[in-house]
Structure 1
Amino acid sequence: MSRRRALIVGASRGLGLGLVARLLDQGWDVTATVRRPSAALADQAQRGPLTIESGIDIDDDAAVRALADRLSDTPDFDCVFVVAGVATQAGTPAGQMPRAVAGAVFQTNALSPIRFAEVFRKRVARDGLIVLMTSKLGSVSLNRGGGWGSYRASKAALNTLARSFAGQHSGAAWGLILMHPGWVRTDLGGRRATLDVETSARGMVAVIEARLGERGCVFLDYTGATVPW
């Protein structure tokens, strides 16, 4: 039986790095992208087959197309997981945030993951998955306290665009997961977060492995529980 293959987009640290480690431990072949070389990621090669692609910024369409060209002769991926995202000035109310900053957050968190998925959708193996890192903060129905308005809005936009993307490709032989990793102790999640990276990554990989072969678009957390839209 051939090894499963994953493409992890944004793997230099935090959850992306944790996913690479867990997938390698689970026997997957992993291709991981970074904007700049990462010693922490390079160290993961001792766990299993790891290919690192540097210089990949998901906001750079030319770099994404060049990556697709470089990987064109490799076997299809069972999982393409776009992890990369930003939380620039997340605590600033939308009415006070510079328009350029708000636009950049939307580009990176909402539009670029969909554009990446569009480029790589034909490289997803039959019964494979496209996974996009979102957040429970992107749930409109759960937004009662406010805060992190631009970040929330960017993830809600990602969720909406992902459902549209899935609908546009409803006959595809892959499924799509919008994944909430939990509140994790990363640079984005902060020190008060309730989960460590290893726990979140272990859960997300378990969800992915259980969902292989499933179709449609779902919004799940790292335990496999459905998150309200």
Structure 2
Amino acid sequence: MATSNIPTALIVGASRGLGLGLAKEYLARGWQVIATVRATAKTALHDVQADAHGRLEIEHVDINEPHQVAALHVRLHNRSLDLLFVSAGISTAPDTSIGQVDAEEFAHEMTNNALSPMHFIEMFHDLVQPKGSIVVMSSGLGSIANNTDGGWETYRASKAALNTLMRSFVARQTGDPRTYLLMDPGWVRTDMGGPDATLGVEESVPRMADVVEAEVGKGGLRFCNYRGQTVAW
């Protein structure tokens, strides 16, 4: 059960990969962690719970299902969050040019990577305390300025859309003191990143957590990488 003297993080999409790594990292740092998984079946996150000394709460939600997101908000409505980190995302056709991507596939990836994360933030930002942080997992591939070689076209488009929607959201929050971050984790060896990626989860995640910590209380929105460097829009 949560206690009032330790910070609380809600990590969305924590069954594997970077989300799972984030849940483990914040537990190691002494935080209370509420972590979500999509399926009701046991995941790697459940294996962590036994050794978490009551500091890991697992919630089930598919962020593409608005009624599930609303139900989770009801369950957590009286909680105060220091950090909301939305880590959910997919890539379905990294090697397919946009001319070969059908409308259904395109809509599915845009919904998962841009629309649903922003719907979640719209609904849950009120639970984040004024000095807290809201972080969403973006990607260096979401940078339009740095796109010099193409590839991952639908994924790039979805992350660029996410970045734009986050910027619009923050622009609407007049006087909001919270800190907002779009995070590029680097090229990480996950199911999406593949075995040839340059970073392990155990290398990227602690550095992302350090960046989040360094930005606490600064307010506004930044698009940055796991080293804390600003990424060009």
Calculate the TM-score normalised by the size of structure 2: 0.95
**Which residue of the partner structure matches residue 156 of structure 1?**
160
Q: Percent identity?
A: 48
1:188-199 superposed matches below 5 A: 188-199=192-203
One-letter amino acid matched to 1:120: F
Determine which of 49, 56, 59 is the counterpart of 1:50: 56
User: Does 1:88 pair with 2:81?
Assistant: no
**Other structure's SS at 1:225 match:** coil
User: Does 1:60 pair with 2:65?
Assistant: yes
**Which residue of the partner structure matches residue 20 of structure 2?**
17
| Aligned-pair CA distance for 1:38 | 3.5
Structure 1 gaps of 5+ residues are none
Cα distance in 2, alignment partners of residues 220 and 28 from structure 1: 23
Contact 1:12 1:38 in 2 (8 A): no
Structure 2 gaps of 5+ residues are none
Determine which of 106, 109, 115 is the counterpart of 1:105: 109
1:118-157 superposed matches below 5 A: 118-157=122-161
**Other structure's SS at 1:91 match:** coil
**Which residue of the partner structure matches residue 184 of structure 1?**
188
Calculate the TM-score normalised by the size of structure 1: 0.96
| Aligned-pair CA distance for 1:136 | 0.3
One-letter amino acid matched to 1:61: P
One-letter amino acid matched to 1:53: E
Contact 2:207 2:227 in 1 (8 A): yes
Contact 2:177 2:220 in 1 (8 A): no
Contact 1:20 1:44 in 2 (8 A): no
One-letter amino acid matched to 1:189: G
One-letter amino acid matched to 2:33: V
**Which residue of the partner structure matches residue 69 of structure 1?**
74
**Which residue of the partner structure matches residue 8 of structure 1?**
11
Cα distance in 2, alignment partners of residues 5 and 104 from structure 1: 31
| Aligned-pair CA distance for 1:40 | 1.3
| Aligned-pair CA distance for 1:127 | 0.8
Cα distance in 2, alignment partners of residues 24 and 38 from structure 1: 19
| Aligned-pair CA distance for 1:173 | 2.4
**Which residue of the partner structure matches residue 213 of structure 2?**
209
Give me the CA root mean square deviation. Answer: 1.1
One-letter amino acid matched to 1:60: E
Contact 1:203 1:223 in 2 (8 A): yes
Query: How many equivalent residue pairs?
Result: 227
Contact 1:185 1:197 in 2 (8 A): yes
Contact 2:63 2:69 in 1 (8 A): yes
1:106-163 superposed Cα distances (whole Å, 9 cap, x missing partner): 1111111111000001000121111010000000000000001110010001000100
User: Does 1:114 pair with 2:108?
Assistant: no
Cα distance in 1, alignment partners of residues 174 and 63 from structure 2: 24
**Other structure's SS at 2:118 match:** helix
One-letter amino acid matched to 1:79: L
